[in-house]
Structure 1
Amino acid sequence: MADEEYEEELGEDGDEARPPRLRLSRRGVVVLVALGALLVGSLAWTVFFSSALDVRRVAVQGLDSGRLTQDEVERALGATARGPLARVDLDRARAEVAKVPRVAQVEVWRGWPHTLRVKVTERRAVAAVRADDGRFVQVDAQGVEFATEPQPPSGVPVVALQLAQPALDALPVIDRPALVRSAVTVAAGLPPDVAKQAGSLTVYSYDDIRLQLASGATVRWGSAEDTPRKSRVLTALLGRKASNYDVSAPDAPAVSG
């Protein structure tokens, strides 16, 4: 009896019977492909064209100084930060924010589902230059003028030109902007502790720049050349109380008064 039951489970050629394979008709394949395309199309429309994933918020990081505001960044973005988040042109958004004078660097990325994220690095003033109208132009370490205010920012020297006759005669070769850039180079190279004590940087000529400290002491800097080394020498000299420090020749510095 058992043998008869076993034979019933075998096919005509003696193989064990197998369940029938599921085969889709051509029409079924077409239907599945159409459904898949419809699903992908619906998803693409939702992401790229519908308002379901629109930009609803701009999150800005790096507003540390209190001078640059969220509103300024959003105004710079303008229409770039509207519509579906997936369609925001990130390169254009970066370029628009980079036009804001106080912005030194900017990163932009998508924060799904509705946030455009912006990270800015603000420019930091290393010097202030008195303008003809009496206001002060703030300049960063790269020499970029990025803000003008009635008063200079605290903790940075004010650059002034008091050109001696030889410097005036040399203006066709070394003009006023070049002289200001030299002073800014010196300001950018000052150690933080010294920069906080700096009251003014006066340019008498290309190779005669002098730093006035808040204590009243004067530092004869010379030219802007070799500023990093002069800064190190001055830091060491400030341990000695004096009214005059001379680092114009850093290999032979002098202290007096």
Structure 2
Amino acid sequence: MADEDYEEELGEDGDETRPPRLRLSRRGVLVLAVLGALVLGALGWTVFFSSALDVRKVAVQGLDSGKLSQDEVERALGSTARGPLARVDLDRAQQLVGKVPRVARVEVWRGWPHTLRVKVTERQPVAAIRADDGRFVQVDAEGVEFATDAQPPSGVPVVGLQLGEPANDALSVIDRPTLVRSAITVAAGLPPDVAKQAGSLTVYSYDDIRLQLASGATVRWGSAEETPRKARVLTALLGRKASNYDVSAPDAPAVSG
């Protein structure tokens, strides 16, 4: 009898009888679906519409020069940096900060739960241009004018134009902005050690640009063409003490004085 009872408890293959599977009724499935939707809705409302995850802080990285402040960045962001963090338009925030003159590049991302993070790369001056009012406009390697101060920044040459009659006559072909850009190209190509010694960069004509060093020595650069090569040649020549260096023809440089 015991054997018969045991066999009744086994399945067709001799396995022990499995407990019945839990099956939800249609009503149960509907209830779970409604509860899931309510949970997701509450979560979405909390993240996107409530003040629980509002922006409470703007953290700015890259303010190394002391010229660009946290307040300037926050003012540029304006209302974009308010409200729920999830709804901040990061592309718009990046565009707004990118309009600040001193900002060369910018990245913006969310720092949950309450921080909008901004990383800026500041423009670095490679030259200064004396304005009509006697102040100095700072220019970066891309030729962007981004700041004006009473004094030129240290370690960069001051660009000036002293055009002769032929150069003035040719302004309809090669205008002043083009000549200034040529000087900026030269300034941007100077090795750091040379840039620190640079006092002024004077344009006499398109193919007659001269660099005055702090030592009083003059460097004839010629045009802005082949600037990287001329910079390498000048670096080698500066090992010889002289009052004049000529790299206008980099294949045949000259030193005198």
TM-score (norm 1): 0.96
1:67-216 matches, within 5 Å, as 67-216=67-216
Q: Tell me how far apart the structure 2 counterparts of residues 103 and 223 of structure 1 sit (CA, whole Å).
A: 30
SS at match of 2:231: helix
Provide Cα deviations, 1:166-190, integer angstroms capped at 9, x if missing partner. 0000011111111100000000000
* 1:177-212, Cα deviation, whole Å (9 max, x unpaired): 111000000000000000000000011110110000
Q: Distance in 2 between matches of 1:96 and 1:199?
A: 35
SS of 2:58 mapped into structure 1: strand
- How many pairs were matched up? 257
Residue 239 of structure 2 corresponds to 239
Counterpart secondary structure, 2:33:
helix
The residue identity in structure 1 corresponding to 2:225 is E
Name the SS for the 2:59 alignment partner: strand
The 1:187–1:9 alpha-carbon spacing in structure 2 relative to 1, beyond 3 Å, is same
Supply the distance in 1 between the matched residues of 2:234 and 2:67 (Cα, whole angstroms). Answer: 32
Unaligned runs of 5+ residues in structure 1 are none
> Is residue 34 of structure 2 the alignment partner of residue 34 of structure 1?
yes
The alpha-carbon deviation at position 17 of structure 1 amounts to 3.7
> What is the CA distance between 1:25 and its match in structure 2?
1.4
Task: Report SS of the residue matched to 1:108.
Answer: strand
Q: Distance between the aligned counterparts of 1:135 and 1:10, measured in 2?
A: 99
Q: Distance in 1 between matches of 2:157 and 2:16?
A: 95
Aligned residue for 1:228, secondary structure, equals helix
User: How far off is 1:24 after superposition?
Assistant: 1.3
Distance 1:252 1:15, change over 3 A: closer
Runs of 4+ in 1 over 6 A off after TM superposition: none
Following the alignment from structure 1 to structure 2, what is the Cα–Cα distance between the partners of residues 230 and 206? Answer: 16
| Cα pair distance change 1:170/1:15, threshold 3 Å | closer
- Once the two structures are superposed, residues 80-103 of structure 1 have per-residue CA deviations (whole angstroms, 9 ceiling, x without a partner) of 110000000000000000000000
Distance 1:4 1:157, change over 3 A: same
Give distance in 1, aligned partners of 2:11 and 2:216: 110
Offset at residue 8 of structure 1 (A): 5.1
| In structure 2, distance between residues paired with 1:35 and 1:75 | 43
How far off is 1:16 after superposition? 5.0
Q: How far, CA to CA, are the matches of 2:146 and 2:164 in structure 1?
A: 29
Output the aligned Cα RMSD.
Answer: 1.6
Over 3 Å counting, the alpha-carbon distance change for 1:20 and 1:202 in structure 2 is same
Look up the SS of the partner of 1:235 in the other structure. Answer: helix
CA–CA distance in structure 1, aligned partners of residues 7 and 120 of structure 2: 80
Q: Secondary structure at the match of 1:204?
A: strand
**Structure 1 residues 119-171: Cα deviation after superposition (integer angstroms, max 9, x where no partner):** 00000000000000000000000000000110000000000111111000001
Q: Hey, what's the Cα distance between the residues in 2 that align with 1:185 and 1:45? A: 54
Query: Counterparts of 1:149 and 1:120 in 2: how far apart (Å)?
Result: 22
- Who is 1:55 aligned against? 55
Alpha carbons of structure 1 residues 11 and 130: separation in structure 2 relative to 1, 3 Å? closer
| Structure 1 position 3, deviation (Å) | 1.8
CA positional deviation for 1:22: 1.5
Quote the Cα distance in structure 2 between the aligned partners of 1:61 and 1:239. 40
